[in-house]
Structure 1
C-alpha cells in the first residue's frame, strides 16, 4: 500500500475494564468517565482522534458500559472546548461485551470482537488505545498511519519511559526501530503506552486463532500475541516522551488535577 493510498484508519478505545484498583471511584462510574481537568478521561482521546482525522471510533464496553454509551452516544457534544464543527465529530460505535457476554474479553479478545467494525479487509490498519491513559499531547498523525500501512508490518507500538509502577518496562527498542522482547545490548526495556497501530492480519491465522468477531466471546490477553509477532520481526516501535499517565489508582488520578 502506498502512502497516498492509505485511508484514514479507524480507532478502538478500550473501555471495558472494571478498574478494580480505582475502587471505590469506579463502583458507580466507569474509569473512562472519571473527570480529568474538566472533562471525562476518555474525552481527551476522542478529541485527539478527531484532530488527527479519525472519523470512526469503536469503543468496547463491559463494566457500567451503558454509562459510556450514553455519554458518547449519537447526541453527544464536545462542549465547545475543541471548537470542532459538527462535520469534524467522529462517528462512535460500541462493541458491548458486557451486554453480549456478561464480561470483558480482555485486550486481544476485545479487539477480535470489534474487528468487523474496525477493519473489514485483511490489509486494513487501525489505532488501538486504552481509555484509562492520559496523554494530552499525543498526536494521531495520519502520516504515521500511512507509513505503517506501507511498511507491511503487523503492528507499530508507542513506548514510554518507565513509570515508577513499571520499572522493568515491557519491550525493548532496536536502533533501527524494531520492537524487542528483551532490552537491546546496553539498553533498557520501555513501557508500552497502549497506543498502537495494528494490521487486521495480526488478529487472523496464523497469528491469532480467535474467529473474527469473536462470536464465542473468547477472553484473551494481547501480550502473548504481540510477543510472537515481535519475535518474528513483524513489529516496529518508537519512544514517546510527552506527558503520559496510566490512570490506574486514585492517587494517580488526583495527581492530574
Structure 2
C-alpha cells in the first residue's frame, strides 16, 4: 500500500516562519512535522510514500531525500504552483497506482495508528466506496466541524466532527480531474457522500492542526516527549 503526504501549501498564517522554510519542515520536538508522519507510516508497514510540494519544494527534497532516514522510499510530485488538495492528488496518481492509498496533511500532528487505514483500504473495493475519512472532535478554532458520522459508519455532509486531514481514497474518486490543474477535495467528497460511498471513523486520540505559530509551539511541546 502507498501513502501520500500533502506538503505543497504556502503556510500564509505561519509567516514569517514559512517565508524561508516550508511548513512541513517546521520542527516539532526532534523532527520536522512531516517526519512524524514518515515515521508512523513506516511503523505501520507503509514503505512507499509520495510527497507533493510547491513552495520551497527544493528544501523538502533536500531534507527528506530518499526517505531512508525514516525507513520509507519517497517519490516526489512537484507542482510549481500549489494545485489544492484534489489537484495535487490527481497529478500524483501515476505515482500512487490503481489501488486505494492513504493521504495525510503534512501540517497536522497526530498519533493516529495508520495501520488501521490498511484495513479500511481493503474494504473500499469490496464495498464500492470511494473514501474513508478520519474525523476528530472539533477544535476551538473550528467549532462547527465539517461532517458527521452515521451509526453504520457512513460519513454525512452535515456538521458534527472535524475532518482530520487523514484518510484513504480510491483513485476512482479523482476520475475526470485533469492533472496539473487546481481542484478542491471537498466537492468530490460531498458528491461521494450523497451516493453513500464515504465511510469514516471517529478518532479520539491526539490530533492537532498546526496552522498557526501558536499551535506550532503547542505541537513542539507535545512532540518533545516523543521518540
* TM-score, length-scaled by structure 1: 0.82
Matched, 1:22 2:14: yes
Q: Which runs of 4+ in 1 moved over 6 A?
A: none
1:229 to 188, 192, 204: 192
Gaps of 5+ in 2: 222-227
The C-alpha deviation readout for 1:124-182, integer Å capped at 9, x for no partner, is: 10001100010034333333332334322100000000001110000011011000001
State how many pairs are aligned.
219
Instruction: Check whether the contact 1:63–1:104 (CA below 8 A) recurs between aligned residues.
Output: yes
Correspondences of 1:94-133 after superposition (within 5 Å): 94-98=76-80, 103-119=81-97, 121=98, 124-133=99-108
The C-alpha deviation readout for 1:162-214, integer Å capped at 9, x for no partner, is: 0011100000110110000015xxxxx1000010101111111xxxx313xx0
1:70 to 43, 49, 62: 62
2:202 to 231, 239, 246: 239
C-alpha distance in 2 between matches for 1:91 and 1:128:
16
Larger Rg: 1
* TM-score, length-scaled by structure 2: 0.92
Gaps of 5+ in 1: 1-8, 79-88, 184-188
Instruction: Check whether the contact 2:44–2:113 (CA below 8 A) recurs between aligned residues.
Output: no
Correspondences of 1:192-211 after superposition (within 5 Å): 192-204=163-175, 209-211=176-178
RMSD value, Cα: 1.3
1:45 to 24, 37, 42: 37
C-alpha distance in 2 between matches for 1:139 and 1:108:
21
Structure whose residues are more often helix by fraction: 2
Aligned position for 2:224: none
SS at match of 1:92: strand
Shift of 1:75: 7.1
Structure whose residues are more often strand by fraction: 2
1:139 to 114, 117, 126: 114
1:45–1:75 CA distance, 2 compared to 1 (3 A): closer
1:75–1:158 CA distance, 2 compared to 1 (3 A): closer
C-alpha distance in 2 between matches for 1:148 and 1:190:
22
SS at match of 1:127: strand
